[in-house]
Amino acid sequence: MAFGLPHIFIPDPLPTVENRSWQIQIPNEEDKKKLFGIELAKSHSNEFEAALVVFPDDTSTSLWVSQNWLSDPIVIASRDLYANTVGVKAKGLDKDQLKARLLNIVDEKVHGRYIATPLERIKALETYAKISGFIDNNRIDINNNTLIDNKMQIILVKPQQKEETKEIDVTPNLEKPLVSPVSIKLVSNKG
């Protein structure tokens, strides 16, 4: 004991609180997991809505379940079993979901390195740009920033007509006096 203080400090226990509604109770019931898998197989638009069906009064638990139970083997097995039994077909991706998956392909890394090759990433970005409408498939962009439409243009041209040439004698005929079409009069101004 230095300075009259003990070497070990033991804190007093926290007072017990009866209502801890702010804490998430992590469900671990197998039946709830099976029900969540079945709801995933049904036509819910996302995982959170499926979790809300299983836990209708607890949104915090539903949010936790929608993020953490997706890879649970019981959930996956019950989802697949229900889908195969009932014959539920997987809903196709909409435009936004497809764009999100393409961006995941482009950005996905493991240990700081991209999983996809550079060519695969470029193809994914090109497909993303086409779906988003950034690239118009009917136009070709040339390096000098002019656009050419993919259209066929037919121009009809008439053949040149030959002009008839006549020889004109431009030598003056001296037998006749030259008469100018312009007459000139000299006027003096004396005054």
Is residue 187 predicted with pLDDT exceeding 80? no
- pLDDT at position 109, please? 83
Output Rg (C-alpha) for the chain, integer angstroms: 45
Residue with the larger pLDDT of the pair 6 and 131? 131
Lowest mean pLDDT among 25-29, 34-38, 165-169: 25-29
pLDDT over 90, % of the chain:
4
93 within 8 A of 102, measured Cβ to Cβ: no
Is 60 exceeded by the pLDDT of residue 19?
no
The one-letter code for the residue type at 138 is N
Instruction: For 87-119, write each residue's pLDDT tens digit.
Output: 655 566 667 778 888 888 888 888 888 888 999
Give pLDDT, residue 93. Answer: 64
Residue written as token pair 């470029």: 122
Strand ranges (E), 10-152? 109-110, 113-114, 139-141, 147-149
**Tens digit of each residue's pLDDT (9 = 90 or more) over 157-184:** 787 777 777 776 666 666 666 666 777 7
Task: Give the best-scoring range by mean pLDDT among 40-44, 80-84, 103-107, 143-147.
Answer: 103-107
pLDDT of residue 54: 87
User: Residue 160: its pLDDT value, please?
Assistant: 77
| pTM (two decimals) | 0.36
Which contacts of 70-77 are long-range, i.e. CB under 8 A and separated by 24 or more positions?
70/40, 72/33, 74/30, 74/33, 74/34, 74/37, 75/33, 75/34, 75/36, 75/37, 75/40, 76/37, 77/37
Long-range pairs, 26-31, Cβ under 8 A, ≥24: 26/61, 26/64, 27/55, 27/61, 27/65, 30/74
Task: Of 15-29, 32-46, 117-131, give the range with the top mean pLDDT.
Answer: 117-131
Please tell me the predicted confidence (pLDDT) of residue 142.
54
**Token couple for 150:** 């993919």
Mean pLDDT of the chain: 76
- Binning pLDDT at 50, 70 and 90, where does residue 145 land? low
Determine how many CB atoms are found less than 10 A away from the CB of residue 158. 5
